[in-house]
Amino acid sequence: MSWLPAVLLLLLLLVALGWLLHWLLIRTEGIFLGRRIVVWLYDLAAGRYDALKQFDPDTESAFVTWPLLRRLRSETGFLGRNSVSNALVLDVATGTGRLPFFLLNEPGFDGRVVGLDASAGMLAQARAKLAPFGQRAALVRQSAQALPFADAAFAAVTCLEALEFLPDDAAALGEMARVLRPGGVLLVTRRQGPEAPYFLGRCRDRDSFEALLTGLGLIDVRSQPWQVEYELVWAKRESTDFTDDTDR
């Protein structure tokens, strides 16, 4: 029986290793192993993503796309009575194209949506789903840390269920604010709930998150309950409406 302590120790080590791998690869989806691993895991899961998430069209419309349309209408000057014309929307970390798909299906939206993601697998799913919308949907494979777009290019920028997977959420949000036009709408999510502590400092509390957005020059920052795991956070880039005396 002299081998018993060694076997028990080995078992303990195996359990600890299994738990560590589960935490690194499943629970926190590779975020502590670097961006490439995160993207590789999403490439692997892409074909199952929509089946796992089971997005409900009515819920997406009620909480996400319809409120986004309402804000676009009232705050960015896309003032069609019943429609939002020509608005260009950017969805960062678009995944399988969830937000572009539901937004383009809104009868009141006749603008265009650009979806950006670093995972080729997720974008392949998005491409198939968005094909019926033709040129109104465009997809870009790129990291969210440096957006390949001009300043003030978009009427709205969205980023759902993704900030905690990015290497630097503050830098990514700074990029989103940069490409948002004055008066434009930002919609992002803040991770919360029982899983958040596993992300070891990658999920901010509400005060710190709202302060980060305010520090980026965004105004009207509002958090809104959504799911157990996420809050929706709305903000706006200040309009630069002012009277230029030299024109008088």
Ligand X SMILES: C[S@@+](CC[C@H](N)C(=O)[O-])C[C@H]1O[C@@H](n2cnc3c(N)ncnc32)[C@H](O)[C@@H]1O
Report if residue 61 touches ligand X, rule: CB under 6 A.
no
Report if residue 186 touches ligand X, rule: CB under 6 A.
no
**In this chain, which of 71, 98, 112, 204 binds ligand X, going by CB under 6 A?**
98
The CB-of-19 to ligand X minimum distance in angstroms stands at 23
Report if residue 239 touches ligand X, rule: CB under 6 A.
no
Site for ligand X in 127-166 (CB under 6 A): 143-145, 160-162, 165-166
**In this chain, which of 65, 68, 95, 234 binds ligand X, going by CB under 6 A?**
95
* Nearer CB in complex with ligand X: 80/129: 129
Report if residue 94 touches ligand X, rule: CB under 6 A.
yes
Residue 44 main-chain phi, psi, to 5 deg: -65, -40
Report if residue 233 touches ligand X, rule: CB under 6 A.
no
DSSP-based three-state secondary structure for 19: helix
Neighbours of 136 (CB within 10 A): 15
**Single-letter amino acid, residue 41:** L
Report if residue 126 touches ligand X, rule: CB under 6 A.
no
Residue 92 main-chain phi, psi, to 5 deg: -85, 135
Q: From residue 32, how far is each of 149, 181, 192, 200, 230 by CA, in Å? A: 28, 33, 18, 9, 20
How many residues interact with ligand X (rule CB under 6 A)? 20
The CB-of-9 to ligand X minimum distance in angstroms stands at 38
Report if residue 220 touches ligand X, rule: CB under 6 A.
no
Closest to 146 (Cα-Cα) out of 20, 35, 23: 35
Distance (Å, whole) CA 57 – CA 62:
9
DSSP-based three-state secondary structure for 208: helix
